[in-house]
Amino acid sequence: MWLRGTRGMEFLMAPTDARLALVRQRVAESIPVPERPGDAVSIPANHDPEKPHVEEKPAVVIGDVTARPRLGEYSEEASKGAEYLTSLALLLETEDEMSRALLAWERILDQCKATPEQATVAISAIQRLRLAEPPWNTKPERATKVLLQIGTSSQTAKHLASATKAAAELMERASSGILDVDVKVNISKASRTKNKVPVPVALWLSGPTKESPSTEVVSLTLAKDDAPQERLDGAIYSLISDYLRRNTTLDPLHPLAENDAAIPAIESRITRLAWRDLGVLLNRKPESKP
């Protein structure tokens, strides 16, 4: 039994290469040539599928590395994004320009609107490079004065003396010598007559005078057997983060996760430019009244 049009056709043997070539030729000849460009019906013989548009990345330019860099170096390049600055920082490292590479990594944190992943890469690089980087300010007399202020009972102040001193030294070290931080203890009148456990502790930062600006005040409740260092350092990080967010155009500090230690965060998540801005803001002179 044969279907119409199939009599004489061979279905059991594979077609030869010559037969396949002939079929391909006939198919190609049967495709109409378009009479005008853009003909929607016909398919041009030289038709090439359109390739997706890929935006070209800007070339990474190191620039002049002979001059001493500014604290805000590479702020102009921040608009090109964290990916560009990452490439720039890595290129600077290959050229052994570690001081400039550190500045490029810092710009990712404070001016690039970096994603959490990009910020994590930058923080890791900053931790690595800061180990060998000399202090930005090597002249203590040029450091900006800042007060770490606590308000509590006299007994609790004695208990916190070593922790507050260590916190002030941490801020000085993390700022790369930009800040000179002293501790000021404020004994509350209510606590002089009656001490309670746990005792509340008020904590804030300010400039060196009574008229100087200050951060908001945070309150901690510490029991006598608490280890206060981590809690103080975490509160300081929060104070700085909130104050910079409200008073500068720098990107917000990378937030502390539940298990993040405060000391490495203070050392690597607050850029030296941010430390400088913090000191400048806390030392602003009050506006004169008319």
pTM over 0.85: no
Element (H, E) at 221: strand 218-222
What span, in angstroms and rounded, lies between the C-alpha atoms of 46 and 48?
A: 6
**Mean pLDDT value across the chain:** 85
Top pLDDT among 177 and 6 is at 177
Q: 3-class DSSP state for residue 102? A: helix
Beta strands in 176-267 (DSSP E): 179-187, 199-206, 218-222
Q: Which residue has the tokens 């002249």?
A: 139
Q: Identify the pLDDT of residue 140.
A: 94
Mean pLDDT of 162-175: 97
* Percentage, residues of the chain above pLDDT 90: 62
Mean pLDDT of 77-105: 96
Cα angle value 262/255/220 (rounded, 5°): 55
Q: Is the pLDDT of residue 122 over 90?
A: yes
